[in-house]
Amino acid sequence: MPSLAIQGMQWGDEGKGKITDYFASHADLVVRTQGGNNAGHSIEHQGKRYALRLLPSGVFQPHVVNVIADGVVVNPAALLEEMDLLESEGISSFHLLLSSRASILMPYHIALDAAREQALGNAKIGTTGRGIGPCYEDRASRVGLRLGDLLVESYLKERLSEALAIKNRELAAFGAKTYTVEELLAWLEPARKRLSSYIIDTSEYLSHALEEGKKVLFEGAQGAMLCLTHGTYPYVTSSSPLCTAIPLNAGLPLTAVNHAIGITKVYCTRVGAGPFPSEIEGELAQKIRDAGHEYGTVTKRPRRIGWLDIPELRYVHRITGVKDSALMLLDVLGSVDEIRLCTGYTLHGKAIDTMPSTIPEVSEIVPTYLSMPSWKGDISHCKTYEELPLEARNYIEKVEELSGLSFVIISVGADRDATIVRKDIF
C-alpha cells in the first residue's frame, strides 16, 4: 500500500505515536493533517521517551520527509521549542515542510481559550488550553493568519491589523490583555527567520510525491470521538480527526488515502469533560491509570478511564470504514483480576445499536457488560500471537467478533519490540 492513514478509534491517547513510529521506518513521508499542539505522541527513541506535539513522528528517521499540511494549526513558538528540544538531544537532521495554508496559532488564541473556559464555568470543555478552538474559529471566520503570510512582510502586517481590529474587542470584552501589531510582529519574527524556508504549497508537493509512488503515512491526531462534527459535541476538539477528512486537509484527491489502520486501546480514556458511557471510577480506575501511565502528555491531567466500548468502536467503524486495527496496551489489563467489555447500550429501556447524536442521550446510556477472566501476568515478552495466554487470545477474538475490527497489530509493551505483527499492511 503506497499510503496509510492512522486513525485514533476512541477519545485520543490510543497509542498512535508508537504505531506511527513503527510504520515511519517504512515510509518516505509522514504527514500531519489536522489539530495542533493539543496532540501528544509519545515515542521511545534510543532508550529515551519523547512527547511530540506538532512535529510529525517521522523526525527520528533521517530518510523521512515530515510534512505539516494545510489542515493543521501551528503555534510557531511551540514548533520552534520542539525543534530546539530535539536538537539539544542531537536530533536535528530531519526534513520538515510546512504548508503555506496552515493556520498560525497566535498568543491571543491561548488567552481566548482560557477566557472562554473560565466563562463556561461548570460547562467548560476541559480543553488542553493551547488555543486550538479559537484558532480554528478564526480560520472559519476568515480573520486567521496562515503560515504563507509570513513570507510577505507587508501582507503579514496588513492581516495582523485586520485580525486585531476584531480580536482586541473580544479580548477586551473578556478583560484580557490586548495586543499591538508591532508586538505581535516581534513575536512572529523568530518564526519568520527560522521557518520561512520550510513553507511551501504542500498540497502540490504531496501530489507529486504520490504520483512518483512515494510511501506516505498520514499521522492522525486526536481520536474519532473528538471529531468536531461526529464526536460527542460540544465536548470535542475543533477539527476532524477522521481519516475521511484527510484528502481535504492535505489538498489531495479521495484516492490519495489507500488504507487506514485504526488505533484501539484495550480500555478507553478521555481527558476533559463530556459523557463517557463505559467510565469506571474509584480504585479500579486508579489501578488501570497507574499501570497504563494514563496522565496527559500535554497537560499532565489524570485521564478518565473506562472499559473497552464495543458500540463506540462499531460506530467509528461505520463512519470511517476502518477495519484493520492495532490493539494497544494489552499488557495493562494483565494487572486486573476481571476484565469487562461494554457490549451494548440501552437507552430509555431499549437496546440501541449506535452512538446517539445528542449529549442528553449519550449521558443516559446504560451500558451492558460482559465479564472475562484476565490472564493476570506479564505478557510483554510475547513475540507471536500464539505465545499470548489463552485468556488474552479469547479476549481479543471476542472483541474482533463483536466490533467487526481485525487486530493486525497487538502491542504488549511500550518498547518498539513489544509489538506482535499479525499482518503486514504497509
Angle 62-221-89 from CA coordinates, rounded to 5°: 35
Options 13, 82, 219, 324; binder of Mg ion; rule CB under 5 A: 13
User: In the complex, what is the shortest distance from the CB of residue 351 to Mg ion, in angstroms, rounded to a whole number?
Assistant: 32
Residue 294 touching Mg ion (CB under 5 A):
no
For ligand IMO, the nearest residue by Cβ is: 272
> Using CB under 6 A as the criterion, what x/- string covers residues 224-243 for binding ligand IMO?
--x----------xx-----
In the complex with ligand IMO, which residue's Cβ is closer, 85 or 185?
85
> Using CB under 5 A as the criterion, what x/- string covers residues 187-226 for binding Mg ion?
----------------------------------------
Options 272, 306, 311, 334; binder of ligand IMO; rule CB under 6 A: 272
> Using CB under 6 A as the criterion, what x/- string covers residues 122-141 for binding ligand IMO?
---xxxx-x-xx--------
How many residues interact with ligand IMO (rule CB under 6 A)?
A: 21
Question: Strand (E) positions, 201-337?
Answer: 216-219, 259-265, 267-270, 279-280, 304-309, 324-328
Q: Choose from Mg ion, ligand IMO, none: what does 237 bind? Cβ within 5-8 Å by kind.
A: ligand IMO
> What is the distance between the alpha carbons of residues 6 and 238, in angstroms, rounded to a whole number?
19
Asked if residue 379 lies in contact with residue 412, where contact means CB atoms within 8 angstroms, the answer is yes
Q: Which residues are catalytic?
A: 13, 41
Query: Which residue's C-alpha cell is 440501541?
Result: 352
User: In the complex, what is the shortest distance from the CB of residue 42 to ligand IMO, in angstroms, rounded to a whole number?
Assistant: 9
Query: Which residue's C-alpha cell is 521511545?
Result: 44
> What is the distance between the alpha carbons of residues 252 and 257, in angstroms, rounded to a whole number?
9
> What is the distance between the alpha carbons of residues 116 and 106, in angstroms, rounded to a whole number?
16
Half-sphere exposure of residue 119, counting CA atoms within 13 Å on the CB side? 12
> Using CB under 5 A as the criterion, what x/- string covers residues 33-72 for binding Mg ion?
-------x--------------------------------
> Using CB under 6 A as the criterion, what x/- string covers residues 242-271 for binding ligand IMO?
-----------------------------x
User: In the complex, what is the shortest distance from the CB of residue 130 to ligand IMO, in angstroms, rounded to a whole number?
Assistant: 5
Q: Choose from Mg ion, ligand IMO, none: what does 411 bind? Cβ within 5-8 Å by kind.
A: none
- DSSP annotation string for 341-366: EEEEEEETTEEE-S--SSHHHHHT-E
Residue 31 touching ligand IMO (CB under 6 A):
no
In the complex with Mg ion, which residue's Cβ is closer, 13 or 138?
13
In the DSSP assignment, the letter for residue 35 is B
Residue 14 touching Mg ion (CB under 5 A):
no
Count of other CB atoms within 10 angstroms of residue 283 = 8
Query: Which one of the spans 203-211, 216-224, 330-338, 404-412 is the region binding ligand IMO (CB under 6 A)?
Result: 216-224
Question: Strand (E) positions, 271-323?
Answer: 279-280, 304-309
User: In the complex, what is the shortest distance from the CB of residue 36 to Mg ion, in angstroms, rounded to a whole number?
Assistant: 12
- DSSP annotation string for 74-122: E-HHHHHHHHHHHHHTT----EEEEETTSEEPPHHHHHHHHHHHHHHGG
Query: Which one of the spans 33-41, 191-199, 337-345, 349-357 is the region binding ligand IMO (CB under 6 A)?
Result: 33-41
Which of 96, 88, 70 lies closest to 194, judged by CA? Answer: 96
Which cell is 383 given? 513475540
Options 12, 15, 144, 334; binder of ligand IMO; rule CB under 6 A: 12
> What is the distance between the alpha carbons of residues 228 and 404, in angstroms, rounded to a whole number?
24
Which of 382, 350, 379 lies closest to 366, judged by CA? Answer: 350
Which cell is 418 given? 513489544
Interacting residues toward Mg ion by CB under 5 A: 12-13, 40
- The residue ranges that bind ligand IMO (CB under 6 A) are 8, 12-13, 38-40, 125-128, 130, 132-133, 221-223, 226, 237-238, 271-272
